[in-house]
Each structure stands twice: as structure tokens, then as C-alpha cells.
A and B are shown apart, each in its own frame.
Chain A
Amino acid sequence: MLYGLTVLFAFLLAGEMIVRTAGLPIPGSVLAMLLLTAWLLLRRGVEPRVAKVSSGLMRYMPLFFVPAGVGVMDLGPQLASEGWSMLAVIVLSTLITLAVTALTLQWLLRRQR
């Protein structure tokens, strides 16, 4: 487990350092994810020790959002004034995104065949 965690943290450090040094507009953790994906492509496989830690983290992924998510309690006034608008935006935007993505892909696949 220590090995897998060390690999993940090493990539995280590299990602954060590169983003800061080069002033890139993307989050360091995202760049780290891309770097690890590239590394997996290069070595053509996932090392079992890394795969194990990764699936362990995935399993409890929602737990790690809780501390940040609870911050919504400090947003009370904003939710009171914008809450219903926010809900409407979520519902409509999600419907549109689902429909546009599905119809585009369906049309392209039919054209290809």
C-alpha cells in the first residue's frame, strides 16, 4: 500500500510543481492524473500495487468530498436568494448536455457505418 500511495503522491507533487512553475491554468491534480495516464500507456499496464491503492481510494471517493461539501452550510444566504434559480440551471443544463451528447454521438456513429 505504501508503494502505491508513494507513486500517487509523487505524481501529485510533480503535477503541482509543473503547474506552478509553468503557470498553467489547470489544477495540479488534473495534470498529475494525465501524467500518470501517460506513464501507464508507456509501460502498457497498471502495476498491481498501484491498482490496489487506486481502487481502494475509488471505493471511498465520496467520503473525501464530505469536508468540503459541508461548506455549503456557510452559503445559507446565497442559497436562500439563488437556490431555486440554481436548481433550475442544474436541471435544464443537465438535460441539454445529456441530449446533445447522445444525439451527436448517435448521428456520427450512424454516418460512420
Chain B
Amino acid sequence: MNELSAHWQLALAWLRDFPALWLVATAAVFLLADKAYRLSRHFPLCNPLLLSVAGLAVLLTLLHVPYADYFHGALPLHWVLGPATVALAVPLYLNLHHVRASLAPLSIALAVGGLTGIVSALLLGQLFGLSPASLISFAPKSVTTPIAMAISEHLGGLPALTANVVIITGIFGAVIVVPLMRLLGVRDLMVQGFALGVAAHGLGTARAVQLSETAGAFSGLAMGLNAVLTSLALPLILAVWPLH
């Protein structure tokens, strides 16, 4: 009996050091969360990313595993973010032809909307007394997660906070868009899609696709362009913004 328990201890110690443990756990939790999302018929609060983060955070806390140990094991998945961000060029390219028909209105709306996203986050953040690091983490919140995290890290924010803020922003935007647009009297689905892409990135685009194919295309385009605009404009804005 003692021998068995000694073997069990050895096996556990080996498992703790096995680098792929948290890789497997992350993928398995994500697949479960994705299943739950589909079973809930794409209910926004059952977003697979949100569920996975919550599930893993609970699991690690229960097992007394420090986040650094987990992150070290799951690092290969994190590394794929780089090439996945580069791959966003493909949908951006495929949607670019929509720009030509109304170049001026789309560029102006992008600039106004993109800057509103940054400035409103900074102003409201200061109004509600967020710390400077939180403010930087919030500023790119309307942009697609890999880019927002890269911007946040680059400028001295907290990438983990940014990732979650971006997701909650996307979920809220996707949930609120239809009632808000009804209230504002905006019926054009192309306009709704574009606004979703600027304000709520990929989650907004997923919602826009449900509204119509055109809305989806304009949303994907807006999301890509706003990522570019924000990564160029945010360093300049933060250079002059009184953070303290």
C-alpha cells in the first residue's frame, strides 16, 4: 500500500513538471467551454473564452498552482497569437474592396469612432478613478484581442487585464447593438455592422454576421482598420495624455 502511494507521489511530481500538462488542460477546458456555448445557442455570457478563463482560474486556485507555472506550460498556445495576428491580414484584404465605394465616409467614421473609443475609455477611466496601469490597459479595449494585448504590453499596461476587458467589451457591444440602434434610429445594416467592428472587434463582427452578410463584411473591415488606427494613434495620444 505504501509502495503504491509512493509511486503515486512520484507520478504526480512528474505530471507537475510535464510541460504539456497545462497545454492539454487549456485545450480540454476550451473544447468543453465551446460545447457549452453551442448548447446554450450562442448565449453571449457563455462565450467560450470567458468560460475557459473562469474555469481554469478556478481549477488553478483549487489545485494551488501559481499562474506563472500554468503560463509556462501553456506557452506554446500563447506563441500562436503572433502568427494568428498576422493571419488577420487575409480577412482584412478580402474586405478592402468595400472601401472603394464610399472611401471618404468610411475613413472619417473610422477615425471619429476609433478615437472616440480610446478617448472615452481614458476619460471615463479617470472619472471613475482607475489607476494609470488600468487606464493604459483599457485604452485599446475596442480592438481585437491579440492586437489590444500587444499594444497594452508595448505601452506598459497589463495584458491579462486588457484581454478580459476586450472580451467583455465585445460581449456587451454584441448584446446591446440592436436595441441601441433602434433607439438611435439607425436602420442601415451596413452602418450597424461598421459600428460593431469599430466598437466591439471580432465578437461584434460575429454578431454582425447574424444581422446580414453585408453587415458582417463591413464589421470585419472596420475591425481590421480600427486595429491599425489604434496601434498607430494610441502611442501618440498617451504621449500627451496626463495619466496621473
Are A and B bound to each other? Answer: yes
Give min CB distance, B17 to chain A, whole Å.
18
Number of interface residues of B (CB under 8 A): 102
* Assembled-state Cα–Cα distance A57/B80 (Å): 8
Residue of A26, A91, A98, A109 with most partner-chain B CB within 10 A: A98
From B26, B27, B67, B124, A92 is in contact (CB under 8 Å) with B124
* Assembled-state Cα–Cα distance A70/B147 (Å): 17
Contact partners of B150 in chain A: CB under 8 A? 27-30
Interface of A: prevailing SS: helix
Q: Is B243 an interface residue (CB 8 A)?
A: no
Q: Is B48 an interface residue (CB 8 A)?
A: yes
Q: Is A17 an interface residue (CB 8 A)?
A: no
0 or 1 for each of A85-101: is its CB under 8 Å from B? (1 = yes): 11111111111111111
| B57–A90 touching, CB < 8 Å | no
Report if A27-B165 is in contact (Cβ < 8 Å); known contacts: A57-B84, A92-B120, A98-B176. Answer: no
User: Chain A interface residue count: which class?
Assistant: 35 or more
Report if A67-B128 is in contact (Cβ < 8 Å); known contacts: A37-B92, A105-B105. Answer: no
Binding site for A on B (CB under 8 A): 22, 26-27, 29-30, 47-49, 52-53, 56-57, 60-61, 67, 70-71, 74-75, 77-78, 80-94, 96, 102, 104-106, 108-109, 112-113, 116-117, 120-121, 124-125, 128-131, 134, 138, 141-142, 145-147, 149-151, 153-154, 158-161, 163-165, 167-169, 172-173, 176-177, 180-181, 184, 186, 188, 191-192, 194-196, 198-200, 202, 222, 227-228, 231-232, 235-236
A-B pairs with the 3 shortest C-beta distances?
Answer: A71-B160, A101-B113, A27-B150
Binding site for B on A (CB under 8 A): 5, 8-9, 11-12, 15, 25-30, 32-34, 36-37, 40-41, 46, 50-51, 53-55, 57-58, 61-75, 78, 82, 85-106, 108-109, 111-112
